[in-house]
Amino acid sequence: MGILTQAILPYILLYKYWALFIFTFLASLAIPIPAGTILIASASFASQGYFNIVTIFIVVIIANIAGDNFSYWLARLYGKKVFSRIGFTRKILASKNFELIEKGIGRHSGFIVFISRFEVLSTLTVNIICGLGKVTYKKFMIFEIIGSFANVIFYILIGYIFGDSWQAVNKLIGNFSIFFFLLVFLLLSLFWKKIIKKLNKEI
């Protein structure tokens, strides 16, 4: 168990659903809080009768949706105004590559919003780009909710089914996640020019 998880879990056990909501909301804003681990642990505690599993599900879903809405609307209302005042972000926003990525996400926004719910940094990045790119709120919300439901159900089932063994299972998931995203990063690095070329053709 990580040091941060060890520091957070006592608050979860003491303040229960309020703490779970706050930490999940903060994690959705890419603050480095292990939301998946906390959810697995909470579901494990529910299997022992300490929490109600349905209440956990509702609280975490609401917290995820609230956090994602916050970052989406912040980007949509103020993103370009703020980023245009910062040197390096102004250059990124004005670049041809960003324009292509923005339009590419707009064309495939449903799938990208859904799949990004399973990784905190990609969730925030996609929320901001969707807000900046004016992806319709209706479309964003539909796939955000579907993705959040899938994400929360996945982690809850792991914690509830494996119970006391949740730490071992969580470690395996963590190792797989690191491997998976390193692989994605490597593939993006290798095929970046081809991806940009394909986006150019589609647009």
Tokens representing 3? 């040091």
CA pair distance 69, 66, nearest whole angstrom? 5
Q: Which helix (H) or strand (E) holds 162?
A: helix 137-162
SS3 assignment, position 9: helix
| Spatial separation of the C-alpha atoms in residues 101 and 136, rounded to whole Å | 16
State which residues form the domain around 10. 3-202
Please give the pLDDT value at position 152: 94
pTM of model > 0.85? no
Per-residue pLDDT in tens (0 to 9) along the chain, 203 residues: 567 788 899 999 999 999 999 999 998 887 778 888 899 999 999 999 899 999 999 999 999 999 999 989 988 888 777 777 776 666 666 666 666 666 666 667 778 888 878 776 677 778 888 888 768 889 899 999 999 999 999 999 999 988 777 777 767 666 666 665 666 667 656 655 565 555 555 55
What CA–CA distance (Å, rounded) separates 80 from 75? Answer: 7
In this structure, which amino acid lies at residue 38? I
Q: How many CA atoms are closer than 13 Å to the CA of 168, on its beta-carbon side?
A: 5
CA atoms within 13 A on the CB side of 96: 6
Task: Name residues whose C-beta falls within 8 Å of residue 88's C-beta, 6 or more positions apart in sequence.
Answer: none
Question: Please, which residues have CB within 8 angstroms of residue 15's CB and are 6 or more apart in sequence?
Answer: none
Number of compact structural domains in the chain: 1
